[in-house]
Amino acid sequence: SETKKLLILPGDGIGPEIMREVARIMAWMSRARGINFDITEDLVGGASLAVHGVPIRQEVIDEARAADAVLFGSVGDPKWASAGFDRRPEIAILKLRQELGLFANLRPAKVFDALADASTLKPEVVRGLDIMIVRETVGGIYFGEPRGIETLPDGSRRGINTEVYTTPEIERVARVAFDLARKRDNRVCSVEKCNVMESGLLWKEVVTDLHAREYADVELTHMLADNCAMQLVRNPRQFDVIVTGNLFGDLLSDLASMLTGSLGMLPSATLGAVDANGRRPALYEPIHGSAPDIAGKGQANPLAQILSFAMLLRYSFNMLEDAAMIETAVANVLANGLRTPDIMSPGMAVVGTEVMGEAVVRELDKLQQG
């Protein structure tokens, strides 16, 4: 088969630091398993603003379209806080999702056994947790019109954003959730605020109808978003797949990450629609941001980025064995007691980004040697 084309976009802050640890794993794959990718790397976010004056160039979007998969780090840098709303580093990821039609963001919150005591919640509440949050990513209040800031006749101003969801937008993301559920515990919880918002009411209706028509074998429940936030802390293991809109999904997945020990543990895959040639655009990134507070200190947890690469191998390249090896290597490193500061607990060895990455490669070596 042809060499797979991979576009790598490290971005800002800790992005490049944790992406280096993925590069270490790719070098190992080449060395130990003879697996090579056709890799292009480019600038996005503040890094692109600094060199090109824009958060993302059209060229990069074209590269992303041409690639078999995109591996993204994170964007955002306080340096650009006063550069203007249309020169935010964050535009890079929003535009990539929009331009590639990446509508379904899969955010698995899985607790590694060794990390059951790393969460701020009691270990018995989170042990064994395995949730998949499916977050819609190209619609909702992030993109709805009208939007903007207006000055009113009395001189006061108002900021406007609009939550909009159409039936096809709701259906396609719900389909992803139901299909995933069938391969898991076969349960979907659909989350909105139908008690307040018409977009939520439509969301609930569309999911209910689709379920009755095509997915009656899957267990479907509905939950209001505020209650869902509470339930995720009270008894997170009640959930299997959660499907929700853009903003609620953003909030609930950061919350869910802390059940696994740290925001630095959660990978994600953002998938588009399968095209006429059977290709599916896909971007993989940790759910966390550029972490300016720890950037440059060599202490960021690289595991969310590494696990995002494992998801890429699984979902885009169907390299199931390689994906599983990486996930097992991560589990083993954690079982051996290695911890970056964010997942630290007493009696464990605190290490930095690079030592964590090297340890994953060492475990890969052991797995390879059987």
Which lies closer to ligand IPM via its Cβ, residue 250 or residue 342? 250
Amino acid at 244: T
CB of 289 to ligand NAD, least distance (A): 2
According to the binding rule CB under 6 A, does residue 131 interact with ligand NAD?
no
CB of 76 to ligand NAD, least distance (A): 2
Q: Which of residues 60-89 bind ligand NAD (CB under 6 A)?
A: 74-76
Interacting residue with ligand NAD among 149, 183, 293, 347 (CB under 6 A): 293
Closest CA to 302 of 366, 368, 355: 355
Phi, psi of 288 (to 5 degrees): -80, 175
Closest CA to 332 of 359, 311, 313, 352: 359
Catalytically annotated residue among 12, 68, 250, 322: 250
Catalytically annotated residue among 77, 110, 142, 240: 142
3-state secondary structure 221-244: EEEEHHHHHHHHHHCHHHCCEEEE
CB of 299 to ligand IPM, least distance (A): 21
According to the binding rule CB under 6 A, does residue 342 interact with ligand NAD?
yes
According to the binding rule CB under 6 A, does residue 170 interact with ligand IPM?
no
Interacting residue with ligand NAD among 70, 93, 283, 325 (CB under 6 A): 93
Binding mask 221-250 for ligand IPM (x = CB under 6 A): -----------------------------x
According to the binding rule CB under 6 A, does residue 8 interact with ligand NAD?
no
CB of 359 to ligand NAD, least distance (A): 15
By a kind-dependent CB cut-off of 5 to 8 A, residue 206 interacts, out of ligand NAD, Mn ion, ligand IPM, none, with none
Helix, strand, coil percentages, rounded to 5, for the chain: 45, 20, 35
Q: Which of residues 236-275 bind ligand NAD (CB under 6 A)?
A: 263-264
Distance CA 227, CA 56 (A): 37
Residue 107: CB atoms within 10 Å:
24
Which lies closer to Mn ion via its Cβ, residue 32 or residue 94? 94
68 catalytic per annotation: no
According to the binding rule CB under 6 A, does residue 163 interact with ligand IPM?
no
185 catalytic per annotation: no
β-pair partners for 282? 271
CB of 290 to ligand NAD, least distance (A): 4
Peptide bond into 341 cis (omega under 30): no
Distance CA 284, CA 74 (A): 11
By a kind-dependent CB cut-off of 5 to 8 A, residue 300 interacts, out of ligand NAD, Mn ion, ligand IPM, none, with ligand NAD
For 36, the token pair is: 């090579």
For 280, the token pair is: 């599916």
According to the binding rule CB under 6 A, does residue 93 interact with ligand IPM?
yes
Annotated binding site for NAD(+): 289-301
Quote the DSSP letter at residue 298.
T
117 catalytic per annotation: no
According to the binding rule CB under 6 A, does residue 294 interact with ligand NAD?
yes
Residues present in the chain in total: 370
Annotated binding site: 97, 107, 135, 226, 250, 254, 289-301
Question: What DSSP element (H or E) covers 66?
Answer: helix 58-66
Q: How many residues sit close enough to ligand IPM to count as binding (CB under 6 A)?
A: 7
217 catalytic per annotation: no
CB 42 within 8 A of CB 55: no
Closest CA to 140 of 189, 178, 192, 176: 192
Closest CA to 240 of 108, 103, 104, 105: 108
Q: How many helices (H) and strands (E) does the chain have?
A: 12, 14
Residues that bind ligand IPM (CB under 6 A): 76, 90, 93-94, 250, 287, 289
Active site (catalytic) residues: 142, 193, 226, 250, 254
Residues that bind ligand NAD (CB under 6 A): 14, 74-76, 90, 93, 263-264, 285, 288-294, 300-301, 304, 342
